[in-house]
Amino acid sequence: QVQLVESGGGLVQAGGSLRLSCAASRSIFSFAAMGWYRQAPGKERELVAAIGTGGSTNYGDSVKGRFTISRDNAQNTLSLQMASLKPEDTAVYYCNAVDIRPILGRVNYWGQGTQVTVSS
């Protein structure tokens, strides 16, 4: 069973920065993709950023140019550098990892989430 543990959330003022980290219990090189999602109260979970094994990245429209996703295969960690934070970035942020398995197909793993609160 894969475990993903997020850290780095907290309270920050608008315009500030935070860095989230996700530690995986196995080599992240083997995942088909990894990413960060977030869920604000009363809203659906949405993609923040994703990164493939080749380093290709994808960002949600609302965070483009402000957030940067990266992965460190040697340390088995995924990071999200967040800058120019806005109150609307307030949410629980979840780390995600994807396996592609024969027969099962896509298998998702999720961390427990870390709270990010941006005050105005």
Q: What is the mean pLDDT of residues 36-57?
A: 95
Share the mean pLDDT of the chain. Answer: 96
Q: Do 41 and 101 touch, CB atoms closer than 8 A? A: no
Other beta carbons less than 10 A from residue 60's beta carbon: 16
Q: What is the mean pLDDT of residues 96-119?
A: 95
pLDDT digits (tens, 9 = 90+) for 44-54: 999 999 999 88
Say yes or no to pLDDT of 1 above 90.
no
**Do the strands 57-59 and 67-72 form a parallel or antiparallel pair, or are they unpaired?**
unpaired
pLDDT of residue 54: 86
pLDDT of residue 35: 98
- CA pair distance 80, 62, nearest whole angstrom: 15
Say yes or no to pLDDT of 25 above 90.
yes
Say yes or no to pLDDT of 16 above 90.
yes
DSSP structure class, residue 63: G
pLDDT of residue 53: 86
- CA pair distance 86, 109, nearest whole angstrom: 28
Q: Do 20 and 79 touch, CB atoms closer than 8 A? A: yes
Structure tokens at 37: 């999602």
Q: What is the mean pLDDT of residues 20-42?
A: 95
C-alpha 41, offset from chain centre: 18
Neighbouring residues of 103: CB distance < 8 A, sequence distance ≥ 6: none
- Among 82, 108, 109, CA closest to 5: 109
